[in-house]
Chain A
Protein backbone atom coordinates (compact mmCIF):
# COMPACT_ATOMS: atom_id res chain seq x y z
CA UNK A 1 0.00 0.00 0.00
CA UNK A 2 1.26 3.42 -0.96
CA UNK A 3 1.72 6.12 1.70
CA UNK A 4 0.59 9.73 1.31
CA UNK A 5 3.82 10.92 -0.30
CA UNK A 6 3.89 8.00 -2.73
CA UNK A 7 0.29 8.60 -3.72
CA UNK A 8 0.96 12.29 -4.31
CA UNK A 9 3.99 11.64 -6.48
CA UNK A 10 2.22 8.83 -8.35
CA UNK A 11 -0.79 11.05 -8.95
CA UNK A 12 1.46 13.90 -10.10
CA UNK A 13 2.99 11.61 -12.72
CA UNK A 14 -0.46 10.70 -13.98
CA UNK A 15 -1.48 14.36 -14.14
CA UNK A 16 1.68 15.14 -16.09
CA UNK A 17 1.03 12.32 -18.55
CA UNK A 18 -2.65 13.19 -19.09
CA UNK A 19 -2.59 16.99 -18.97
CA UNK A 20 1.06 17.87 -19.59
CA UNK A 21 1.42 19.68 -16.28
CA UNK A 22 4.83 19.61 -14.57
CA UNK A 23 4.82 17.24 -11.57
CA UNK A 24 6.20 20.05 -9.35
CA UNK A 25 2.97 21.99 -9.93
CA UNK A 26 0.84 19.17 -8.59
CA UNK A 27 0.65 19.90 -4.86
CA UNK A 28 -2.02 19.01 -2.30
CA UNK A 29 -3.74 22.39 -2.05
CA UNK A 30 -4.17 22.87 -5.82
CA UNK A 31 -7.63 22.67 -7.32
CA UNK A 32 -7.70 20.50 -10.44
CA UNK A 33 -10.08 22.78 -12.30
CA UNK A 34 -9.23 26.26 -11.04
CA UNK A 35 -5.47 26.02 -10.46
CA UNK A 36 -4.32 23.29 -12.81
CA UNK A 37 -6.85 24.01 -15.57
CA UNK A 38 -7.79 20.34 -15.90
CA UNK A 39 -11.24 19.77 -17.34
CA UNK A 40 -13.80 17.12 -16.43
CA UNK A 41 -12.82 14.79 -19.26
CA UNK A 42 -9.12 14.89 -18.36
CA UNK A 43 -10.23 14.15 -14.80
CA UNK A 44 -11.86 10.96 -16.06
CA UNK A 45 -8.60 9.94 -17.72
CA UNK A 46 -6.68 10.72 -14.56
CA UNK A 47 -9.18 8.67 -12.51
CA UNK A 48 -8.86 5.68 -14.83
CA UNK A 49 -5.07 5.70 -14.53
CA UNK A 50 -5.21 6.22 -10.77
CA UNK A 51 -7.55 3.22 -10.50
CA UNK A 52 -4.97 1.06 -12.28
CA UNK A 53 -2.02 2.41 -10.39
CA UNK A 54 -3.46 2.33 -6.87
CA UNK A 55 -6.07 -0.43 -7.13
CA UNK A 56 -8.99 1.83 -6.16
CA UNK A 57 -12.40 2.45 -7.73
CA UNK A 58 -13.21 6.09 -8.48
CA UNK A 59 -16.76 6.21 -9.86
CA UNK A 60 -17.91 9.32 -11.76
CA UNK A 61 -20.04 10.64 -8.86
CA UNK A 62 -17.08 10.34 -6.47
CA UNK A 63 -14.78 11.92 -8.99
CA UNK A 64 -16.90 15.07 -9.05
CA UNK A 65 -16.23 15.46 -5.29
CA UNK A 66 -12.46 15.41 -5.67
CA UNK A 67 -11.84 19.14 -6.06
CA UNK A 68 -8.20 19.36 -5.01
CA UNK A 69 -5.16 17.18 -5.41
CA UNK A 70 -5.28 16.64 -1.63
CA UNK A 71 -8.90 15.39 -1.89
CA UNK A 72 -7.79 12.81 -4.44
CA UNK A 73 -4.79 11.73 -2.40
CA UNK A 74 -6.85 11.15 0.73
CA UNK A 75 -9.61 9.39 -1.22
CA UNK A 76 -7.04 7.01 -2.70
CA UNK A 77 -5.36 6.50 0.68
CA UNK A 78 -8.68 5.57 2.32
CA UNK A 79 -9.90 3.32 -0.44
CA UNK A 80 -6.80 1.50 -1.64
Chain B
Protein backbone atom coordinates (compact mmCIF):
# COMPACT_ATOMS: atom_id res chain seq x y z
CA UNK B 1 0.00 0.00 0.00
CA UNK B 2 1.10 3.56 -0.72
CA UNK B 3 1.45 5.67 2.39
CA UNK B 4 1.71 9.44 2.61
CA UNK B 5 4.45 11.06 4.56
CA UNK B 6 3.36 13.92 6.82
CA UNK B 7 5.56 16.63 8.29
CA UNK B 8 6.68 16.14 11.88
CA UNK B 9 4.34 17.77 14.37
CA UNK B 10 5.34 20.08 17.23
CA UNK B 11 3.90 20.20 20.78
CA UNK B 12 1.98 23.44 20.22
CA UNK B 13 2.28 27.10 19.34
CA UNK B 14 2.97 30.43 21.02
CA UNK B 15 2.71 34.11 20.22
CA UNK B 16 6.08 35.83 19.91
CA UNK B 17 5.19 39.26 18.58
CA UNK B 18 2.42 41.84 18.58
CA UNK B 19 1.76 44.97 16.57
CA UNK B 20 -1.05 47.31 15.61
CA UNK B 21 -1.87 50.25 13.39
CA UNK B 22 -4.51 52.96 13.46
CA UNK B 23 -5.30 55.72 11.00
CA UNK B 24 -4.26 59.26 11.92
CA UNK B 25 -7.67 60.90 11.88
CA UNK B 26 -9.50 61.07 15.21
CA UNK B 27 -13.31 61.34 15.25
CA UNK B 28 -14.82 62.46 18.53
CA UNK B 29 -18.38 61.93 19.72
CA UNK B 30 -18.99 65.65 19.20
CA UNK B 31 -17.88 65.27 15.59
CA UNK B 32 -20.56 62.59 15.13
CA UNK B 33 -23.16 64.71 16.92
CA UNK B 34 -22.73 67.32 14.22
CA UNK B 35 -23.96 64.80 11.66
CA UNK B 36 -26.53 62.62 13.49
CA UNK B 37 -28.74 63.25 16.50
CA UNK B 38 -26.66 61.93 19.36
CA UNK B 39 -24.51 63.26 22.14
CA UNK B 40 -21.21 62.62 23.80
CA UNK B 41 -22.66 61.49 27.13
CA UNK B 42 -25.10 59.04 25.52
CA UNK B 43 -22.31 57.38 23.57
CA UNK B 44 -20.02 57.21 26.62
CA UNK B 45 -22.81 55.67 28.71
CA UNK B 46 -24.11 53.16 26.18
CA UNK B 47 -20.98 52.02 24.40
CA UNK B 48 -18.07 53.51 26.37
CA UNK B 49 -16.44 55.16 23.39
CA UNK B 50 -14.83 58.60 23.73
CA UNK B 51 -13.14 58.77 20.33
CA UNK B 52 -12.26 56.53 17.42
CA UNK B 53 -9.96 56.55 14.39
CA UNK B 54 -11.34 56.68 10.88
CA UNK B 55 -9.16 56.19 7.81
CA UNK B 56 -8.88 59.07 5.39
CA UNK B 57 -6.01 58.07 3.13
CA UNK B 58 -5.06 54.73 4.66
CA UNK B 59 -6.34 51.57 2.99
CA UNK B 60 -7.18 48.33 4.77
CA UNK B 61 -4.00 46.79 3.36
CA UNK B 62 -1.93 49.82 4.45
CA UNK B 63 -3.03 49.21 8.04
CA UNK B 64 -2.48 45.44 7.74
CA UNK B 65 1.04 46.04 6.42
CA UNK B 66 1.92 48.41 9.25
CA UNK B 67 0.50 46.19 11.99
CA UNK B 68 2.09 43.08 10.49
CA UNK B 69 5.50 44.74 10.12
CA UNK B 70 5.41 45.92 13.72
CA UNK B 71 4.47 42.45 14.99
CA UNK B 72 7.26 40.94 12.96
CA UNK B 73 9.78 43.43 14.34
CA UNK B 74 8.53 42.74 17.86
CA UNK B 75 8.97 38.99 17.36
CA UNK B 76 12.63 39.24 16.38
CA UNK B 77 11.93 37.00 13.37
CA UNK B 78 12.61 38.15 9.83
CA UNK B 79 10.46 38.20 6.70
CA UNK B 80 12.28 35.06 5.55
CA UNK B 81 10.99 33.15 8.59
CA UNK B 82 7.29 33.72 7.85
CA UNK B 83 5.73 31.02 5.67
CA UNK B 84 2.04 31.74 6.18
CA UNK B 85 0.01 34.95 6.34
CA UNK B 86 -3.61 35.00 7.46
CA UNK B 87 -5.64 38.19 7.27
CA UNK B 88 -8.90 38.10 9.20
CA UNK B 89 -11.19 40.70 7.68
CA UNK B 90 -14.81 41.25 6.77
CA UNK B 91 -14.51 44.70 5.25
CA UNK B 92 -12.59 44.38 1.97
CA UNK B 93 -14.57 46.40 -0.58
CA UNK B 94 -13.65 43.93 -3.32
CA UNK B 95 -13.34 40.20 -2.60
CA UNK B 96 -10.64 39.72 -5.26
CA UNK B 97 -7.72 39.83 -4.78
CA UNK B 98 -7.50 38.88 -1.12
CA UNK B 99 -5.74 41.08 1.42
CA UNK B 100 -3.26 38.47 2.66
CA UNK B 101 -1.12 38.01 -0.46
CA UNK B 102 -0.66 41.71 -1.16
CA UNK B 103 -0.04 42.44 2.52
CA UNK B 104 2.66 39.77 2.59
CA UNK B 105 4.22 41.13 -0.59
CA UNK B 106 4.37 44.65 0.79
CA UNK B 107 5.89 43.50 4.07
CA UNK B 108 8.52 41.68 2.03
CA UNK B 109 7.49 38.11 2.81
CA UNK B 110 8.24 36.02 -0.22
CA UNK B 111 5.60 33.60 -1.58
CA UNK B 112 3.93 32.57 1.70
CA UNK B 113 0.69 30.63 1.93
CA UNK B 114 -1.73 33.57 2.20
CA UNK B 115 -5.44 33.64 2.77
CA UNK B 116 -8.21 35.83 4.13
CA UNK B 117 -10.62 34.58 6.73
CA UNK B 118 -14.04 36.05 7.46
CA UNK B 119 -15.40 35.43 10.91
CA UNK B 120 -16.10 39.14 11.46
CA UNK B 121 -15.26 40.25 15.01
CA UNK B 122 -14.27 36.69 15.93
CA UNK B 123 -11.81 36.68 13.01
CA UNK B 124 -8.59 37.17 14.94
CA UNK B 125 -9.36 34.31 17.34
CA UNK B 126 -10.30 32.08 14.39
CA UNK B 127 -7.08 33.05 12.64
CA UNK B 128 -5.01 32.43 15.74
CA UNK B 129 -6.60 29.00 16.18
CA UNK B 130 -5.91 28.14 12.55
CA UNK B 131 -2.32 29.39 12.84
CA UNK B 132 -1.65 27.41 16.01
CA UNK B 133 -2.99 24.19 14.49
CA UNK B 134 -1.18 24.68 11.17
CA UNK B 135 2.01 24.98 13.18
CA UNK B 136 1.23 22.07 15.45
CA UNK B 137 0.51 19.86 12.45
CA UNK B 138 3.69 20.92 10.70
CA UNK B 139 2.00 22.70 7.77
CA UNK B 140 3.49 26.03 8.80
CA UNK B 141 6.46 27.12 10.88
CA UNK B 142 5.83 30.80 11.53
CA UNK B 143 2.51 32.45 10.85
CA UNK B 144 1.64 36.12 10.72
CA UNK B 145 -2.00 36.57 11.77
CA UNK B 146 -3.48 40.00 11.11
CA UNK B 147 -6.93 41.34 11.89
CA UNK B 148 -7.53 44.33 9.61
CA UNK B 149 -10.72 46.29 9.12
CA UNK B 150 -11.83 49.42 7.40
CA UNK B 151 -15.36 49.48 8.72
CA UNK B 152 -15.73 53.11 7.70
CA UNK B 153 -16.29 51.95 4.10
CA UNK B 154 -19.38 50.03 5.23
CA UNK B 155 -20.81 52.28 7.92
CA UNK B 156 -23.85 54.38 7.12
CA UNK B 157 -22.68 57.69 8.58
CA UNK B 158 -26.29 58.78 8.90
CA UNK B 159 -27.27 55.74 11.00
CA UNK B 160 -26.68 56.66 14.62
CA UNK B 161 -27.05 53.07 15.84
CA UNK B 162 -23.89 52.00 13.99
CA UNK B 163 -21.80 55.08 13.20
CA UNK B 164 -21.16 55.73 16.89
CA UNK B 165 -19.58 52.30 17.33
CA UNK B 166 -17.39 51.25 14.44
CA UNK B 167 -13.88 52.32 13.47
CA UNK B 168 -10.77 51.34 11.52
CA UNK B 169 -7.55 49.57 12.57
CA UNK B 170 -5.33 46.55 12.23
CA UNK B 171 -3.73 44.32 14.86
CA UNK B 172 -1.30 41.46 14.35
CA UNK B 173 0.51 38.61 16.03
CA UNK B 174 3.39 36.38 15.02
CA UNK B 175 2.82 32.75 15.96
CA UNK B 176 5.56 30.15 16.10
CA UNK B 177 6.11 26.63 17.40
CA UNK B 178 6.58 25.64 21.02
CA UNK B 179 9.58 23.39 21.53
CA UNK B 180 8.10 21.67 24.56
CA UNK B 181 4.92 21.65 26.61
CA UNK B 182 6.08 24.40 28.94
CA UNK B 183 6.53 26.72 26.01
CA UNK B 184 2.99 26.31 24.64
CA UNK B 185 1.36 29.72 24.62
CA UNK B 186 -1.86 29.30 22.64
CA UNK B 187 -4.57 27.21 24.28
CA UNK B 188 -7.20 25.13 22.49
CA UNK B 189 -9.93 27.14 20.83
CA UNK B 190 -13.56 27.14 21.90
CA UNK B 191 -15.55 28.23 18.87
CA UNK B 192 -18.82 28.05 17.02
CA UNK B 193 -21.50 29.96 15.20
CA UNK B 194 -25.19 30.84 15.31
CA UNK B 195 -26.31 31.00 11.70
CA UNK B 196 -29.92 31.21 12.82
CA UNK B 197 -29.06 34.79 13.82
CA UNK B 198 -27.27 35.64 10.56
CA UNK B 199 -29.45 38.66 9.85
CA UNK B 200 -28.87 40.57 13.09
CA UNK B 201 -25.59 42.06 11.83
CA UNK B 202 -25.45 42.34 8.07
CA UNK B 203 -24.90 44.47 5.00
CA UNK B 204 -28.23 45.71 3.64
CA UNK B 205 -27.61 44.47 0.10
CA UNK B 206 -31.18 45.19 -0.92
CA UNK B 207 -30.99 48.90 -0.12
CA UNK B 208 -28.11 50.98 1.19
CA UNK B 209 -25.38 48.34 0.92
CA UNK B 210 -24.29 49.52 4.36
CA UNK B 211 -23.93 47.81 7.71
CA UNK B 212 -27.03 47.26 9.80
CA UNK B 213 -27.39 45.73 13.25
CA UNK B 214 -30.16 44.93 15.66
CA UNK B 215 -28.37 46.41 18.62
CA UNK B 216 -30.39 45.01 21.47
CA UNK B 217 -30.51 41.51 20.02
CA UNK B 218 -26.75 41.57 19.61
CA UNK B 219 -26.32 42.95 23.12
CA UNK B 220 -28.52 40.25 24.61
CA UNK B 221 -26.71 37.51 22.73
CA UNK B 222 -23.25 38.77 23.60
CA UNK B 223 -23.97 39.34 27.29
CA UNK B 224 -25.42 35.85 27.70
CA UNK B 225 -23.55 33.59 25.26
CA UNK B 226 -19.97 34.83 25.36
CA UNK B 227 -18.98 34.23 28.99
CA UNK B 228 -19.73 30.49 28.57
CA UNK B 229 -17.44 30.40 25.52
CA UNK B 230 -14.71 32.09 27.55
CA UNK B 231 -15.16 29.64 30.42
CA UNK B 232 -15.01 26.73 27.99
CA UNK B 233 -11.74 28.05 26.55
CA UNK B 234 -10.30 28.20 30.08
CA UNK B 235 -11.46 24.67 30.89
CA UNK B 236 -10.16 23.27 27.58
CA UNK B 237 -6.70 24.61 28.44
CA UNK B 238 -6.84 22.90 31.81
CA UNK B 239 -6.92 26.22 33.67
CA UNK B 240 -9.39 27.83 36.05
CA UNK B 241 -10.85 31.37 35.89
CA UNK B 242 -8.52 32.42 38.73
CA UNK B 243 -5.55 31.76 36.44
CA UNK B 244 -6.55 34.57 34.08
CA UNK B 245 -4.43 37.70 34.50
CA UNK B 246 -6.07 39.72 31.76
CA UNK B 247 -9.35 39.47 29.91
CA UNK B 248 -9.34 40.70 26.33
CA UNK B 249 -12.80 40.34 24.83
CA UNK B 250 -13.58 41.77 21.42
CA UNK B 251 -14.08 45.50 21.97
CA UNK B 252 -17.69 45.57 20.77
CA UNK B 253 -19.21 47.76 23.43
CA UNK B 254 -17.73 48.50 26.87
CA UNK B 255 -21.01 47.43 28.48
CA UNK B 256 -20.63 43.97 26.89
CA UNK B 257 -17.00 43.79 27.99
CA UNK B 258 -17.99 44.65 31.56
CA UNK B 259 -20.87 42.15 31.55
CA UNK B 260 -18.55 39.35 30.42
CA UNK B 261 -15.99 40.30 33.11
CA UNK B 262 -18.70 40.30 35.78
CA UNK B 263 -19.86 36.82 34.74
CA UNK B 264 -16.31 35.47 34.81
CA UNK B 265 -15.71 36.93 38.27
CA UNK B 266 -18.83 35.15 39.49
CA UNK B 267 -17.19 31.96 38.24
CA UNK B 268 -13.97 32.59 40.12
CA UNK B 269 -12.00 35.06 38.02
CA UNK B 270 -9.95 37.38 40.20
CA UNK B 271 -11.03 40.89 41.15
CA UNK B 272 -7.59 42.10 40.07
CA UNK B 273 -7.95 40.50 36.62
CA UNK B 274 -7.29 43.37 34.21
CA UNK B 275 -9.97 43.92 31.59
CA UNK B 276 -9.24 45.42 28.18
CA UNK B 277 -10.98 48.75 27.57
CA UNK B 278 -9.24 49.76 24.37
CA UNK B 279 -12.63 50.58 22.82
CA UNK B 280 -12.64 53.86 24.77
CA UNK B 281 -10.14 55.48 22.42
CA UNK B 282 -10.27 53.09 19.47
CA UNK B 283 -13.95 52.23 18.92
CA UNK B 284 -15.12 48.83 17.72
CA UNK B 285 -12.60 47.67 15.12
CA UNK B 286 -13.95 44.15 14.59
CA UNK B 287 -11.16 41.60 14.00
CA UNK B 288 -8.46 44.16 14.83
CA UNK B 289 -9.68 44.89 18.33
CA UNK B 290 -8.21 41.95 20.25
CA UNK B 291 -4.60 42.01 19.00
CA UNK B 292 -4.61 45.82 19.12
CA UNK B 293 -5.87 45.83 22.72
CA UNK B 294 -3.13 43.36 23.69
CA UNK B 295 -0.53 45.50 21.96
CA UNK B 296 -1.75 48.74 23.53
CA UNK B 297 -2.03 47.23 27.02
CA UNK B 298 1.47 45.82 26.83
CA UNK B 299 2.87 49.13 25.59
CA UNK B 300 1.14 50.91 28.48
CA UNK B 301 2.63 48.46 30.99
CA UNK B 302 -0.78 47.10 31.95
CA UNK B 303 0.18 43.55 31.02
CA UNK B 304 3.52 41.85 31.16
CA UNK B 305 5.22 39.22 29.12
CA UNK B 306 4.36 35.73 30.39
CA UNK B 307 0.97 36.64 31.80
CA UNK B 308 -2.12 34.63 30.90
CA UNK B 309 -4.64 36.42 28.70
CA UNK B 310 -8.09 35.17 27.80
CA UNK B 311 -9.18 36.22 24.31
CA UNK B 312 -12.76 35.96 23.11
CA UNK B 313 -14.12 37.31 19.83
CA UNK B 314 -17.75 37.43 18.75
CA UNK B 315 -19.82 39.15 16.11
CA UNK B 316 -21.47 38.88 12.72
CA UNK B 317 -22.24 35.42 11.47
CA UNK B 318 -22.94 35.15 14.24
CA UNK B 319 -19.61 33.62 15.09
CA UNK B 320 -17.47 33.35 18.19
CA UNK B 321 -14.13 31.96 19.30
CA UNK B 322 -11.93 32.17 22.36
CA UNK B 323 -8.64 30.84 23.67
CA UNK B 324 -6.13 31.53 26.41
CA UNK B 325 -2.71 32.78 25.40
CA UNK B 326 0.55 33.67 27.06
CA UNK B 327 1.45 37.33 26.49
CA UNK B 328 4.69 37.54 24.48
Contacts and interface: CB of A to CB of B under 8 A. Distances in A.
Interface string A17-49: 000000000000000000000011100110110
Contact of A39 (B45, B214, B217, B224): B45
Nearest to A49: B224
B45 A40 contact: no
A60 interface: yes
Contacts of B220: 44, 47-48, 60
Nearest to B223: A45
- Interface bin, chain A: under 10
Contact of B259 (A39, A45, A47): A45
Interface residues of B, number: 11
User: Does more than half of chain B's interface fall in helix, strand or loop, or is it mixed?
Assistant: helix
A47 B216 CA distance: 12
A60 B213 CA distance: 14
Contacts of A48: 220, 223-224
A40 B223 contact: no
B216 A60 contact: yes
Closest 9 CB pairs of A and B: A60-B216, A44-B220, A41-B255, A44-B219, A48-B224, A44-B216, A41-B219, A60-B217, A41-B46
Given A45-B223, A60-B216, 18 more contacts: A39-B45, A39-B46, A40-B216, A41-B46, A41-B216, A41-B219, A44-B216, A44-B220, A44-B223, A45-B259, A47-B220, A48-B220, A48-B223, A48-B224, A60-B214, A60-B217, A60-B220, A63-B216
